Amino acid sequence: MPSFGISSLFWALRADPEPFVKLVSIFQRADLPPNYPAQETLTNGSDLLSIEKIAQHWREKGLTDTQISQRANHLAESLFPRWSSSAIKRVLYGLNSCGFLFPYKLGPSNNKVTRNTNMNGQWRFQLNSYLWLSWTNSADYQRYFIYFFRMPQPHVPESERSQQEMIEMLKSYVKSNANNFRDPFFLSTAP
């Protein structure tokens, strides 16, 4: 996965679900925004939107994009040297992004991959994602399609009437049940 610039901080926090307590002082010196305290950021990790807000805070403090990238890289590098497990997880993420799920079956199934997921859980999640995206999942896609337009998100029009018009216009293109022509024997679910 991308491991440079501001995204390096996101991936480093994701790859190290149990960082050293000693890193708190390093993160405190990094001048994180007040609503992202060092201890909480290290304990809970972060999402990409929060990382962008941290970068915006640094930008408002007068840092250039180059300085922001250097600061994020420095924080990310502080997470990696402590043990090889973080490096192994980064390799797993890279293989996963290329479609290789098998390595998740090579390690102990209860080994933490992220704060909320172990090796087996990540394998199941990725497998279900591939089944979903290849339309071989037996789920009802129309239900998720309608839910997508009912979510309060910036990409969805606020007006109920506009939402309904978009749903009606696009609904015929979304299958209610997936067919199994692509994978009639469900071979894609074999480990």
In a domain, 191, yes or no: no
Q: Is residue 190 part of a domain?
A: no
Tens-place pLDDT, residues 103-148: 888 878 888 887 778 888 888 888 888 877 776 666 667 777 777 7
Q: Which amino acid is at 176?
A: S
Q: Which residues of the chain have pLDDT under 50?
A: 1
> In DSSP terms, which residues pair with 112 in a beta bridge?
118
User: Looking at the structure, do residues 28 and 77 belong to the same domain, yes or no?
Assistant: yes
Q: How far is CA 60 from CA 1, 32, 51, 63, 156, in A?
A: 28, 12, 14, 7, 30
Number of domains within the chain: 3
Does residue 97 share a domain with residue 31?
no
- The dihedral over CA atoms of 107, 112, 118, 123, expressed in degrees to the nearest 10, equals -50
* Shared-domain flag, residues 108 and 128: yes
Domain co-membership, 28 together with 73:
yes
Return the pLDDT at 106.
Answer: 83
Matching residue, tokens 């300085």: 67
pLDDT for 182: 60
Claim to verify: residue 23 and residue 40 sit in the same structural domain: yes
Q: Are residues 123 and 145 in the same domain?
A: no
Q: What is the identity of the amino acid at 56?
A: Q
The answer to whether position 169 is within a domain reads yes
The pLDDT score that the predictor gives to residue 57 is 94
Question: What pLDDT sits at residue 66?
Answer: 92
pLDDT of the residue at 13: 80
Question: Could you tell me if residue 120 is inside a domain?
Answer: yes
Other Cβ atoms closer than 10 A to 49: 9
Considering the domain architecture, whether residues 60 and 126 belong to the same structural domain is answered as no
Stated as kind and residue range, the H or E segment containing 15 is: helix 6-15
For residue 65 the two structure tokens come to 């994009």
Do both 106 and 125 map to the same domain?
yes
CA 1, distance to chain mean position in Å, is 11
Q: Give the separation between CA 77 and CA 72, rounded to whole angstroms.
A: 9
The pTM (predicted TM-score) of the whole model is 0.57
